Every structure is written in C-alpha cells, then in structure tokens.
Amino acid sequence: MTSLASTKPIVLITGASTGIGATYADRFARRGHDLVLVARNKTRLDAVAARLRAEAGVAVDVVQADLTDPGDLAKVEARLRDDDRIGVLVNNAGGNIPGSFAEQKTEDVARLIALNTTAVARLASAVAPRFATAGSGAIVNISSVVGLAPEFAMSVYGATKAFVTFLSQGLTLELGLKGVYVQAVLPAATRTEIWGHSGVDVDTLSGVMEVGELVDAALVGFDRREPITIPPLPDAGQWDALQAARQAILPNVRQEHAAERYRTRK
C-alpha cells in the first residue's frame, strides 16, 4: 500500500469521508503521508481517496466501517495493532443527535456514546502499546469546546467530548514519557455536516469557522506538540488559568474526613 517515495508514517483517519476528517486527509497527503481512511460512506470515501491519489501522489487505503458496530470497530483496531507502518491516528469520527436530553431516544444516546467515546478509547487502546514500545507515534483526538460548557445545553454530546479531552490529558501523562504524542483538538462551531445531524441550520449561526482554517490551526498545534489545541481561543492564558484552578483543588480533596461545611445541617 505504501507509495514508493514515502518514508513518512502512515496516517489513519476516522470519519474521513467529509468535513474535518477529509480535510485532515488532504493536509497529511500534501505533507507526503500515505493514508488509511475510515468511514461508513464508501462512495464518499472512494472519492476522497481517488482525488488524493491523483493530486498528492500518495497511497490511500479505504476501510468502510461503522465504528458503532463491534465487528467493524474490531477490524479497525486490528489494523492499528498489526500495521506498524501506521504512526499517526486521527480519532475524528463523531456525531450528535437533535433535541434536548428528555427528547432524545435512549438507543440514540447509546449509539452516540459508542461513537464519540467508546470508539475513540478503543482505537487509542489498540495502537498505544505498539506506539509505546516503538517510542514514537501520535494520537490526535478531536474533542470540542462544548465539553467545557454545560451551559451550551448539549448534555450528552458535551459529556462525550469532556471524556475525549480528559482521556487525551491522561494519555499525555501516561504515554508522553514513552515518546508518544497525544493531542486533543477542541473546535468551537465549525462548518461541517454535524449541524444538520443536530437539527440546526448552520447558516443561522454566527462565529462559525471554516473547516480548512480549523484543521490548519490544529496542525500548527500538532507541529508544536501542544497537548491541547483550541483554534478559536485568542488568549491561551485562559486555558492555563483554568488548568491552574483545577490543579489547585487537588491537594485539598484527599482528606480523611468530610469538610467542615458538611458537618452541620445548617
């Protein structure tokens, strides 16, 4: 599968048939990386692959998979475990469902959680041991600023993205010492098809970033080896302050007894 000229690691990208995933495919192809592209829609996937083979001269393998299907997910996991040419995983596949929590069907909630959290964790788990043994490799997890903001009233989607950010931070601590780079990318509103799946007309929104600008900014963070990249955030110090406030809590929570304020009913 590898193109003759390429000595760079292969990049496996999920959700690669459109939007952020397809744009990552374009950018990595133009950097000279061969690709493994994963998505449900094979027609779209084949079109992306054909264009990148023609325009960038790279080898592109297509894997049709629904990552909420255990068999399909296992197929991608096996590829990540067994193909030591793959050196970058972009965990991009994700989605949302319309309505408030009380309006969403339980089976749809379960499927969303499977796609946005279970698949992300399992694919990272499949490749992490090999990367750690090699002392190299990168895992890019596409999260969202919604995971920082319950106020946005997207409870399940936001919770799944909070999981992705937390997982990425934990993996940075665990795998970073072994030479593995882990990046969480937190977009805000970006012009992708997720809005239609959420029942929202993206053209009614303000402050929507174009997907090319989002990915290009995320790749600047990737090249800088940032653990967290928030492309629309003007002041990086705000993220640093949030982390400092969180870390200041930690020494105070390991206590033998409940805090004084909980020892009275008044």
17-60: pLDDT as tens digits: 999 999 999 999 999 999 999 999 999 999 999 999 999 999 99
- 150, part of any domain: yes
pLDDT tens per residue across span 127-164: 999 999 999 999 999 999 999 999 988 999 999 999 99
- 24, part of any domain: yes
Catalytic residues: 157
Q: What's the pLDDT at 211?
A: 94
- 19, part of any domain: yes
Domain with residue 32: its CATH number is: 3.40.50.720
Our count of domains for the chain comes to 1
**What tokens appear for 96 in the block?**
């949302």
At position 164, the amino acid (one-letter code) is V
pTM summary value: 0.92
Q: What's the pLDDT at 199?
A: 64
- 212, part of any domain: yes
Are 10 and 87 contacting, i.e. CB atoms less than 8 angstroms apart?
yes
Q: What's the pLDDT at 191?
A: 73
- Answer whether residue 208 shows pLDDT above 90: no
- 22, part of any domain: yes
Q: Is 60 exposed, middle or buried (0-12, 13-18, 19+ CB in 10 A)?
A: buried
State the chain's mean pLDDT as an integer: 93
Expressed as residue numbers, the domain containing 184 is 10-235
Q: How confident is the model at residue 195 (pLDDT cuts 50, 70, 90)?
A: low
CA nearest neighbour of 14 among 71, 107, 112, 88: 88
Task: Please work out, in degrees rounded to the nearest 5, the angle formed at the alpha carbon of residue 235 by the alpha carbons of 229 and 239.
Answer: 55
CA nearest neighbour of 188 among 242, 243, 141, 230: 230
- Answer whether residue 217 shows pLDDT above 80: yes
